[in-house]
Amino acid sequence: MGKLFGTDGIRGEANRPPMDGPTGFSLGHSLGTILRRGDRPLRVVLGKDTRISGDMLESAVAAGIASAGVDVLTAGVLPTPGVAFLTRDLKAGAGVMISASHNPFQDNGIKVFSAEGTKLSDEEEAALEEGILQGPSPHTGAPPLPGRILPLADAPSRYGAFLQETFPKGLSLKGLRLVLDTANGATFETAPAVFQDLGAEVEVLHHRPDGKNINAACGSEDTRVLEARVRETAAGLGLAFDGDGDRLVAVDEAGRRLTGDQVLMILARDLKERGALAGDLLVTTVMSNLGLTEACARLGIRHHASRVGDRFVLEEMRRLGAVLGGEDSGHMILLDHHTTGDGILSGLQLLACLIRSGSPLSELAGVMTVFPQALVNVEVSRKPDLVSLPAVSRAIGDVESELGERGRVLVRYSGTQNVCRVMVEGPTPGETQQACERIARAVETEIG
């Protein structure tokens, strides 16, 4: 079956290995077995998003965990950061989320959290993967008593209360008109309730999941409907989440989509002005726009770039003592509040910045100038070292030489899909797009 874990858990087409019932059972059994060997609590929090395959995988993973003698607390449909929160709050031994995040409904995935509510380390993933690939082994002695599978009926209310507590005391959302796009995903109930309870006037788009419409022309992946609705209703802003609720994309009052980097810079400037940006440090990834680097330098904020993937951002944040980090894709980690990216929480903190400043979101977004950027995703049949592909290396070298200090090139494989991502930043949109497409053609010719 090969290596299972990518940059964000295991993903694949639902009902095919590795995203099938047998693999789900093996993962649950492997996780339960590891917990029984250690000194962690023998219970696991299990959540899912709204995909039609979620029920099948939930049942398989739960059965595997219980077969190893560990209890399962099923949270039902809940955002990924909700599972991370409950794992920590309920002092569980681990948490499992069944979701393929922003992928289409045909895919699904499994993410595993430690007892601290963080993504697993490489070593922990390797140990779990070894158990999955080996499969459940026969019991040499008396088998353990099976664990129980218990519904966690108050999971949404527990998580919602936590989110509301992160909103600064003394601030209110009363009078704010807000449009939410929940992507027919895991935030479809939690997000509207949280913002309404804090006083906002909320309109919700794409909040009727049917198992197949998650992320379909909606949510953080496609904000066109949200942008139009913000303009039509003269709303203060719009917030969009992805299928599992760990990403945030914001739309200003004029219906213009902000980049994740712009939101991170708004948060960073606010924290710095209040003396709450530890070490005056912001951690992002190598995919962040050059405009973010420029804005950090102008504002006296130190900037560190990690590998792509929110768990690598978190690792660097902890190593360097940062409290704010994230990705341009919309993953944002606010360590003073949570251990993982949380779209609803990020939206709340962005609204707090808006209220404190008294300025519209369009004005706050001016904290950084976004350099023209082009991104092309090329489907690939294999993932060899890019250096071993002569035509690709030549195309990258030629573009880098032409751009010089006016831009940059980043070419990398997706950790969750059979895709090569080609990103170019340059001085003009036209020149940037042409350069990006030139490299993408080379990739497609060699390994497409």
Is the overall model pTM greater than 0.75, yes or no? yes
Q: Based on C-alpha coordinates, what's the Rg of the chain? A: 22
SS3 content of the chain, % helix, strand, coil (to 5): 40, 20, 40
- Give the Cα separation of 303 and 295 in Å (integer): 10
> 10 Å Cβ neighbour count for 143?
11
Digitized pLDDT (tens) for each residue of the chain, 448 residues in all: 457 888 788 999 999 999 999 999 999 999 999 999 888 889 999 999 999 999 999 999 999 999 999 999 999 999 999 999 999 999 999 999 999 999 999 999 999 999 999 988 888 999 999 999 888 776 667 788 999 999 999 999 999 999 999 999 999 999 999 999 999 999 999 999 999 999 999 999 999 999 999 999 999 999 999 999 999 999 999 999 999 999 999 999 999 999 999 999 999 999 999 999 999 999 999 889 989 999 999 999 999 999 988 889 999 999 999 999 999 999 999 999 999 999 999 999 999 999 999 999 999 999 999 999 899 999 999 999 999 999 999 999 999 999 887 888 999 998 778 899 999 998 899 999 999 999 999 999 999 8
pLDDT of residue 40: 80
pLDDT of residue 80: 98
Tokens of 442: 């080379």
pLDDT of residue 136: 77
- Give the Cα separation of 194 and 181 in Å (integer): 14
pLDDT of residue 415: 76
- All domains of the chain in start order, with CATH: 10-155 (3.40.120.10), 170-251 (3.40.120.10), 260-367 (3.40.120.10), 373-447 (3.30.310.50)
pLDDT of residue 2: 54
Contact 82, 47 (CB under 8 A): yes
**DSSP classification of residue 322:** -
| Single-letter amino acid, residue 411 | V
Name the 3-class secondary structure at 350. Answer: helix
**DSSP classification of residue 323:** S
DSSP string, 364-418: HGGGSPPPPEEEEEEE-S----GGG-HHHHHHHHHHHHHHGGG-EEEEEE-SSSS
- Give the Cα separation of 62 and 43 in Å (integer): 11
Query: Could you confirm whether 137 is annotated as catalytic?
Result: no
Name the 3-class secondary structure at 264. Answer: helix
- Give the Cα separation of 369 and 382 in Å (integer): 36
> Considering 67, 99, 101, 114, which one is annotated as catalytic?
101
Give tens-digit pLDDT for 147-168: 999 999 999 999 999 999 999 9
